[in-house]
Structure 1
Amino acid sequence: MVMHVRAEAPGDERGALLAFIAEQRGGVRRAVLGLTEEQARSRPSASELTLAGLVKHCAEVEQAWLARARQEPPAVQRTQANWHECFRLVGDETLAGQLAHWEKIAAETEAYVRSVPSLDDTFPLPNDPWFPPDEQVSVRWLCLHLIRETARHAGHADVIRESLDGKTAFELVAEEQGSPWG
């Protein structure tokens, strides 16, 4: 299921940002449309990336940024020791479980963005060496960052899916909508 968010009125910045996030999520989600668990976990290229791993990573990253905006710790703490696990399913994790988890996070993201008094409200960046110290970013920045992050991985997903069975994003959109492509 792909969540479709529409801007509520002309000039509705929140709705527009949420719609762009949802659009990019859709690109990743469509890349796994009709695949078996085995196909979604496979590595059809020289890259370590898998479609199932990309779904997990996108969900985890979105949840972590949403938690930071709320000034809470991310649900999963990643370190150098476990970083590799954010791009692949481990233990009893499944693609279906990750898709459902991401759908829940997407709803939480939308509710949060719609609930803040202003997109200019800020929160601190993590104290990581790749961020400027004591830097604050806005909820608007959060939305733009999620668009950028998810779009990057939607592109990876396109390449992996096409490497698996030759299906392109256009074909998958048509398949999702139940109409022929071509």
Structure 2
Amino acid sequence: MVTHVRAEAQGDERGALLSFLAEERGGIRRAVLGLTEEQATSRPSASELSLAGLLKHVAEVEQGWVARAKGEPPAVHRDETNWNECFQLVGDETVGSQLAYWEKVTAETEAFIRTVPSLDDTFPLPDQPWFPPEGRVSMRWLVLHLIRETARHAGHADIIRESLDGATAFELVAKEQGTSWG
């Protein structure tokens, strides 16, 4: 759902990119607004996706990409044996704990992007068959990739939320702002 990007997007390129990323993050956060844990972890369609799972996934993906750009390992290692766990809450994980984790990740992302010497600086892509061999991408690419990834999942979240209780993205924006819609 499109909302108005913060005014600082009118400034420098970093501010604009981070503002667009923040806008898409908001769509996912709003999708879990007012839901119980049971609702957030439910799968109301034929898909395996739940809102809680999407929330966890976008947090892990963002953290992993920023860690890669910094030359660090991701906080959570996923491979074919535990890949599905990035789309579901396990153990004592809750929607609240995932929101808190994502808030920490987003602060680290924003601090990193604001302090990297240049958006033209590059880092290597992973050695995986779906990436070009010995490929490198820029910090600008990183933020654009995070915007794309988050926006895709925000759209999934809109559909899942509406399937759960009929709440639309516009209604959730109004609810978040304490106003009424319609």
- If the length of structure 1 is used for normalisation, what is the TM-score? 0.95
- Aligned residue type for 2:97: G
Which residue of 2 is the match for residue 118 of structure 1?
118
Which residue of 2 is the match for residue 153 of structure 1?
153
Q: Summarize deviations over 1:100-130 as a string: whole Å, max 9, x none.
A: 0000000000000000111001000011111
Unaligned runs of 5+ in 1: none
**8 A contact 1:6–1:15 mirrored in 2:** no
Calculate percent identity across the aligned residue pairs: 78
What is the correspondence of 1:37-76 to structure 2 with a 5 Å cutoff? Answer: 37-76=37-76
User: Distance in 1 between the 2:132 and 2:153 partners?
Assistant: 24
What is the correspondence of 1:30-109 to structure 2 with a 5 Å cutoff? Answer: 30-109=30-109
Q: Summarize deviations over 1:133-180 as a string: whole Å, max 9, x none.
A: 111100000000000000000000000000000000000000000110
User: Distance in 2 between the 1:86 and 1:133 partners?
Assistant: 26
**8 A contact 1:21–1:146 mirrored in 2:** yes
User: Distance in 1 between the 2:7 and 2:138 partners?
Assistant: 20
User: Distance in 2 between the 1:159 and 1:109 partners?
Assistant: 27
**8 A contact 2:162–2:168 mirrored in 1:** yes
What secondary structure, in the 3-state scheme, does the structure 1 residue paired with 2:65 have? helix
What secondary structure, in the 3-state scheme, does the structure 2 residue paired with 1:47 have? coil
Moved over 3 A (4+): 4-11
User: Distance in 2 between the 1:95 and 1:61 partners?
Assistant: 17
User: Distance in 2 between the 1:9 and 1:19 partners?
Assistant: 6
**8 A contact 1:54–1:153 mirrored in 2:** yes
Which residue of 2 is the match for residue 127 of structure 1?
127
Unaligned runs of 5+ in 2: none
Residues 10 and 44 from structure 1, CA distance in 2 versus in 1: closer, same or farther, beyond 3 angstroms? closer
What is the correspondence of 1:3-42 to structure 2 with a 5 Å cutoff? Answer: 6=6, 8=8, 10-42=10-42
User: Distance in 2 between the 1:48 and 1:10 partners?
Assistant: 39
RMSD: 1.4
- Aligned residue type for 1:75: A
- Aligned residue type for 2:21: I
What secondary structure, in the 3-state scheme, does the structure 1 residue paired with 2:123 have? strand
User: Distance in 1 between the 2:151 and 2:90 partners?
Assistant: 24
TM-superposed deviation, 1:11: 4.3
